Amino acid sequence: MNFNQLIEQFIGAPFKVKFSIIALILMSILPFLSTLGIFSYATFFNEQVQSWDQTMILIMGVVVFFLTSLSLASTTILSIACGYFYGWQAYPWLFIMFVAGTLFGYTISNAFDKNTIMGFIQMNPEMYSFVRKLQKNQRLMLFTMRLTPSLPFAVTNFFCAYINVPLNKYLTLGSLGIGLRLLATVWVGTQISDFNENLEDDPVYVIQKYVFLGIGMVLFLLLYYYIMREKDEIE
């Protein structure tokens, strides 16, 4: 199926399908834009952020919860920022917020008509076959998505809800991936020399970036292998 056919399907799709697709696209773009705002704020109000009292930290924690749950901010950058400003004491709070955000995002995703969305996917045999293969390899898929910054946080929530990944499995494997990834990002935050627009030049940040890139490539190649192995069984 070519691009023009996909566009025609999108135009003729029900409103809920169109809304979901547009929402997923926006969720993929917004974290990059919000990252610029985070860097700018941290640069100009560095001392103010470090001097926040517990009440202010709690308020900002609630804000961060909704920002990450709706994919309005990058979880990686926020974790590094918290590690830089507050050290390891930020880890348990970030873990709780991200796991709660997983539950929140998965729950609101079910507000959409998943049957209509899956019906739209079934109109494209290649796309539906690929989704079925992913469903066959849910454990590796979930762990890979949460451990590596491959997809925006909320996109993963919506996608897994759409393809009917069981909530208990999603929370268990997702939490494992989130916990391991947070160990790395918070550690990076405690090691970097400064948190500003020049973060990309910090050697510690660069190393973790390429380490996660390498791990992500290995896991995705492994997932691809298992998906291709399922080909004859599904088709």
pLDDT tens figures, 93-123: 889 888 888 888 788 777 665 666 677 777 7
Q: In the prediction, which pLDDT does 24 show?
A: 66
Asked if residue 1 has pLDDT above 60, the reply is: no
User: What tens digit of pLDDT does each residue of 30-76 get?
Assistant: 665 665 666 566 666 666 666 666 676 666 666 666 666 565 667 78
User: Nearest CA to 39 among 210, 207, 201?
Assistant: 201
Residue 92's CB is within 10 A of a number of other CB atoms, namely 10
Give the pLDDT band of residue 79 (cuts 50, 70, 90): confident
Q: In the prediction, which pLDDT does 234 show?
A: 43
Asked if residue 199 has pLDDT above 70, the reply is: yes
Is-contact 156 145, C-beta < 8 A? Answer: yes
Specify the pTM: 0.71
3-state secondary structure of 59: helix
List the domain boundaries for the chain: 3-234
Give the pLDDT band of residue 235 (cuts 50, 70, 90): very low
Least confident among 12-26, 125-139, 150-164: 12-26
Asked if residue 125 has pLDDT above 60, the reply is: yes
Q: In the prediction, which pLDDT does 91 show?
A: 92
Q: Looking at beta carbons, which pairs linking 28-35 to residues 24 or more positions away fall under 8 Å?
A: 28/71, 28/151, 28/152, 28/155, 30/71, 30/72, 30/73, 30/152, 31/71, 31/72, 31/73, 31/74, 31/152, 31/153, 32/74, 34/67, 34/72, 34/73, 34/74, 35/73, 35/74, 35/77
Sequence-distant (≥ 6) Cβ neighbours of residue 142 within 8 angstroms = 160, 165, 169, 170, 173, 174, 177
Give the pLDDT band of residue 187 (cuts 50, 70, 90): very high
Outline where 70-89 has alpha helix (H). Answer: 75-86
Q: In the prediction, which pLDDT does 166 show?
A: 86
Asked if residue 26 has pLDDT above 70, the reply is: no
Indicate the DSSP class of residue 124.
S
What's the mean pLDDT when you consider all of the chain?
Answer: 75
Q: How far apart are CA 196 and CA 5, in angstroms?
A: 44
Asked if residue 10 has pLDDT above 90, the reply is: no
